[in-house]
Amino acid sequence: GHNILERLDAGEVVIGDGGFVFALEKRGYVKAGPWTPEAAAEYPEAVRQLHREYLRAGSDVMQTFTFYGSDDKLENRGNNQRFSGRQINEAACDLAREVANEGNAMVAGGVSQTPSYLSCKSENEVKAIFKKQLDVFVQKNVDFLIAEYFEYVEEAEWAVQVLRTAKKPVAATLCIGPEGDLNGVSPGECAARLVRAGAQIVGVNSHFDPMTCVKTVKMMKEGVQKAGLKAHYMTQPLAYHTPDCNRQGFIDLPEFPFSLEPRILTRWDMQKYAREAYNAGIRYIGGCCGFEPYHIRALAEELAPERGFLPPASEKHGNWGSSLEMHTKPWVRARARRDYWEKLMPASGRPYCPSMSNPDGWGVTKGHADLMQQKEPTSQEQLRALFAKAKANQ
C-alpha cells in the first residue's frame, strides 16, 4: 500500500532513496552552492532517470526533488531562475509520481530549512514559506510529507506544524549528530519536541556518516520513550565517512563539497549500515548526499532476508561478489566471496594525504550577522572579507 504508517506499523522495512542534489550535481544538472532543484523543470529527463535508478535499486519512496525548493532559497544570493518556485515544485511532484507508478513506490513531498529562518524572520513568515510548498504537495496528492535537513529543531517544529495540517503522515529529520542541534538541544529532546509537534516518524538525515546517524537516532529513540511518546524512526545519512566532524557536520570539513570522494562508503560499508540501523529498531532506512543507486541496492540486498525479496537491480549483482566467478582472471575469481570483501581494508591510494581532517569551527549560529541572507549576489567586498577570515582561522 501507499500508506507509510501502515507499512511501518506492520514492521516492514521501508528503503529510502539517495540524495538528489549531490547526485545531480555530479551529473551536471545542479549547481553546488545554492544546491537548488530547478532541474525538475529545466532537465526533467535527468531527474526522472535518477528516480528510475533508485526505484530499480530498491527504493520504496520517491522523494519529490524539492530540496531547497522554497521561494526564498530559490532566489537567494543572486540565483536567478527561469521557472517559478511553483513550477519547480509541481514538476518535481509529477516526476516522482510518474516513476513511483512504474513500481510500487510511495511519493514523499519534502521541505527543508530556509534562509528566512536563518535571517531571523518571524514564525509566521517562515511558516508561510512552507505552506506554499505544502499547497503544491496537497494539490499533487503526495502520499506523505517529510521535513528534512534542519539544523535547528525550532524551525523543524514550525515545518511539522504546517505539514500536519494536510492530514497526511509526517516525517521529520534533523541534520544533527550526537551533540544535538546548533543551539545544543540534545537529540532526545529534539525528537520528543518533533513528535509533540505532530511528526509520526523522526530521525536524522545528511551531515554525518551512517554509523554516527544510527547512534544519533538511538539517542532520539531513548528521548521519545523517556517522554512517554511513540514514533517510528528513520535514517538518511551521508555516503561519506565523517569520524572527524564536529557538531556542524560535513559542511565544516575542508573537503566539502568538491573533494569528498576519498570518503565515500563502499557497497559493503552500506550493508553494515543497513544491518546496524535495523538492529537499532530503525525501519525507514535510506540515504542522503553522496548516495548513488548502488548504495541503495546494498541496503535492499542486506535486508532481503527480512523483506523476502531482492530489488530488480540485483539481477546484475551477485551476493557478496559472487558474480566475479565469471571473471576471466583467476585471482579476481578468487574474490567471489563474502569473507574477502567484508574483511578488506580499502586503501585510498593517496600516500601524502591524511586519513582525517581538521574541520572549520567558525562558531557562527543563527542571529550572527554573517548568517543574514540576501536576494542580491554576494559582493566582491563580502567575499574578500570571508577569504581574510578563512586565512585567519587556518
Q: Grade residue 369 by pLDDT with cuts at 50, 70 and 90.
A: confident
CA 393 vs. chain centroid, Å, equals 29
* DSSP β-ladder status, 106-111 and 61-63: parallel
Q: 308: helix, coil or strand?
A: coil
**From CA 222, how far away is CA 172, in angstroms rounded?**
17
* DSSP β-ladder status, 232-236 and 284-285: parallel
Q: Grade residue 391 by pLDDT with cuts at 50, 70 and 90.
A: confident
92 pLDDT exceeds 80?
yes
φ, ψ at 39 (rounded to 5°): -55, -25
Tell me what pLDDT residue 83 has: 93
Q: Grade residue 165 by pLDDT with cuts at 50, 70 and 90.
A: very high
| Selected residue with higher pLDDT from 191 and 362 | 191
As a whole number, mean pLDDT of residues 133-137 equals 97
Tell me what pLDDT residue 389 has: 84
223 pLDDT exceeds 90?
yes
Query: Under CATH, which architecture does the 4-324 domain have?
Result: Alpha-Beta Barrel (3.20)
247 pLDDT exceeds 70?
yes
| Selected residue with higher pLDDT from 391 and 218 | 218
**From CA 155, how far away is CA 119, in angstroms rounded?**
12
The model carries a pTM of 0.96
Rg of the chain taking only CA atoms, in angstroms? 21
Q: Grade residue 377 by pLDDT with cuts at 50, 70 and 90.
A: confident
361 pLDDT exceeds 70?
yes
Q: 148: helix, coil or strand?
A: strand
Q: Please, what's the b/e burial string for 270-283 (b: 16 or more CB within 10 A of its CB; e: otherwise)?
A: bbbbbbbbbebebb
**From CA 237, how far away is CA 291, in angstroms rounded?**
9
| Cell triple for 58 | 530498491
Owner of C-alpha cell 532517470: 49
The reply, when asked if residue 288 is annotated as ligand binding, is yes
The reply, when asked if residue 213 is annotated as ligand binding, is no
109 pLDDT exceeds 80?
yes
Tell me what pLDDT residue 1 has: 67
Q: 90: helix, coil or strand?
A: helix
Q: What is the pLDDT of residues 39-69, one digit of tens each?
A: 999 999 999 999 999 999 999 999 999 998 9
Report the mean per-residue pLDDT for the chain. 95
Tell me what pLDDT residue 376 has: 86
| Cell triple for 382 | 563580502
Greatest extent of the chain over all pairs of C-alpha atoms, in Å: 66
**From CA 181, how far away is CA 163, in angstroms rounded?**
21
Query: Of 63, 79, 60, nearest to 71 (Cα)?
Result: 79
